[in-house]
Amino acid sequence: MNQSPTDPAVAEPIPEPEIQRGKRFSIIWLIPLIAVLVGVWLAVKAVRETGPTITIVFKSAEGLMPGKTEIKFKDVTVGKVQNIQLSEDLSQVLVTAAMSRDVAAHLTRDTLFWIVRARVAVGEVSGLSTLFSGAYIGMTPGTDGKVVHRFEGKEKPPAISRNTPGRQFNLSSEKLGSLAIGSPVYYRQVKVGRVTNVDMAEDGTGVLLGIFVKAPYHNQVKRSSRFYNASGLDVNISADGVRVDTPSLASLLVGGISFFTIKDIKTAQPMAEDHEFILYDNLDAANAAYYSYREYYLLYFKETVRGLSAGAPVDFHGIKIGEVISIRLLFDQDKLTFRIPVLIAIEPDRIDFSGELAIPEYKVIEKLVEKGLRAQQRTGNLLTGQCYVSMSIHPDAEPRKIRTDDAYPVLPTIPNTVGEITATAKRLLARFNSLPLEETLEDIREAARQVNAMTGSKTLESAIDNIDKSFAEFKKVTSDLNDGTLPKVNGMLDQARQSLARGEEALATANTVLGEGAPIVYNLNRLLLELQEAARAVEVLADYLERHPDAIIFGKGDQK
């Protein structure tokens, strides 16, 4: 059906749309602009806060996850693990981590990293929080040195925090026993420190341990301190009963170290950092070893050292001041010669010092060497042949000084007593061989033949008879002089002259019979000469009395 022309819906015209132009800037554009600014700010902040990227080497990556595992210092996150991969030889794990700028300046050579996990040990439980949050990497910032970006991570946390007050010491022992890093250190059964390091000695003859003693107990460690292994039970059965000694249950199960300090009359100062002590096997061994501080010296001997062994005493005037540590044989390939270096240990605490002159202990031996201190090997037991080293002062020794160009200071030595005796015997034998023994024996034989001939000579018997007569007449003259009468003086003088004549005749006869070469003949000649001198003295007396006869009564006065 068609609509009529009067229909209003058909009659009204359709209006045309009106187009209006909006504003050139809309507020909706602020949203992406703000987003861009926030993104730039976050990027700048991330760049400013992001520190260096480092690599930490571990043996295992157990519990570590890229993008999740954090690096913490004092429970504050200072980095995050970004990547974990194996090394080229598949023996290690390389952990790449992004560090905060706050610790960038502390990433030095002494910076420590370790993996913190839940650990349960005797007397200690740590890392329980990691059971829920997972393992993380602990960190101890470095204190000094050049910034580096590669580190060796530890599997266990350090036994002592770096900022803990106290002092580090070293111990040497023949064996480790049940000790390990983290083993406790006790003083009077109070835990005062821990074992911080365990290592083998360079020559493989023992082990070296590092311990840390906390303050203020480190002041109790002095030169007279003794350290001993307190692991297990120390059981002593005696007449007093059974004594069981152990510092704690922890030391019984995992080992421990105890120490005590011997009271001394000398004022002992606390020991310096890293001083080395001996670790004894037990308490009894520590008590038996009164001296632990030692100074090591080398001795070089050219003669044999048979009978000298490690542990032999080193004494000074019969008092033990140390012991022999080792004996070796050294061959010089250039000179094709052998030397025997003997290492000794001297314990200065065995010597008490007095006097006002304060000489440092390390200078005492040097002064004594200048005065003549020498080392000598001597035999201590003639039955077993065991030897020892004797230190003594030899003022007449050649001037020497301590050599310091070797591994240890070298003390001068002198040959042993056997060597001196051998050298003296060789000199005496050389002199004896240089004597004209054959000529001397021949002279003795000739003298013996002459004496043998004289004993049967009638001439010698006649000479002896004349001597006897001369002595008889001489006694008669002296008896006449004792009488002291002047009329007998002239007769006495005649008798004296006759006695002198007969004495001279006897001497002449003896000289003719006896030779001058033999010793016995020489002694006889001396006797006859003395008799001749006596006869001459009598002649002088007779001559004087002849000129001064009153001298018999008044004596010899001042003669004008």
Q: What is the pLDDT of residue 284?
A: 78
Q: What is the pLDDT of residue 196?
A: 87
Report the percentage of the chain scoring pLDDT > 90.
12
Q: Which of 406 and 487 is assigned the larger pLDDT?
A: 406
> Is residue 557's pLDDT more than 70?
no
What is the rounded average pLDDT of the residues 448-475? 59
Distance between CA 508 and CA 500 in Å, rounded? 12
> Is residue 491's pLDDT more than 50?
yes
Residue 252: φ, ψ to 5° = -70, -35
Q: Which of 495 and 485 is assigned the larger pLDDT?
A: 495
Domain ranges of the chain: 46-152, 166-288, 295-425, 439-554
Split at pLDDT 50, 70, 90, the class of 213 is very high
Q: What is the pLDDT of residue 425?
A: 60
Report the percentage of the chain scoring pLDDT > 70.
59
Among the listed ranges 410-419, 449-458, 475-484, which one has the minimum average pLDDT value? 475-484
Split at pLDDT 50, 70, 90, the class of 239 is very low
Residue 82: φ, ψ to 5° = -105, -35
- 345-373 residue pLDDT tens: 888 777 777 776 667 666 778 888 888 88
Q: Indicate the average pLDDT of the chain.
A: 75
- 524-555 residue pLDDT tens: 566 566 666 666 666 666 666 667 666 655 55
- For residue 60, count CB atoms less than 10 angstroms from its CB and return exposed for 0-12, middle for 13-18, buried for 19 or more: exposed
Contact assessment for residue 113 and residue 153, using Cβ atoms and an 8 Å cutoff: yes
What secondary structure letter does DSSP report for 356? S
SS3 category, 138: strand
Q: Which of 472 and 481 is assigned the larger pLDDT?
A: 472
Q: What is the pLDDT of residue 84?
A: 93
What is the rounded average pLDDT of the residues 77-94? 91
> Is residue 185's pLDDT more than 80?
yes
CATH number of 439-554: 3.40.630, 3.40.50, 1.25.40, 1.20.58? 1.20.58
SS (H, E, C) 408-439: CCECCECCCHHHHHHHHHHHHHHHHHHCCHHH
Split at pLDDT 50, 70, 90, the class of 265 is very low
> Is residue 35's pLDDT more than 70?
yes
Split at pLDDT 50, 70, 90, the class of 1 is very low
Q: Give strand pairing partners of 56.
A: 95, 151
Contact assessment for residue 480 and residue 492, using Cβ atoms and an 8 Å cutoff: yes
Split at pLDDT 50, 70, 90, the class of 113 is very high
Split at pLDDT 50, 70, 90, the class of 317 is confident
Q: Give strand pairing partners of 167.
A: 213
What is the rounded average pLDDT of the residues 5-30? 64
Q: What is the pLDDT of residue 286?
A: 83
Contact assessment for residue 294 and residue 346, using Cβ atoms and an 8 Å cutoff: yes
Q: What is the pLDDT of residue 169?
A: 93
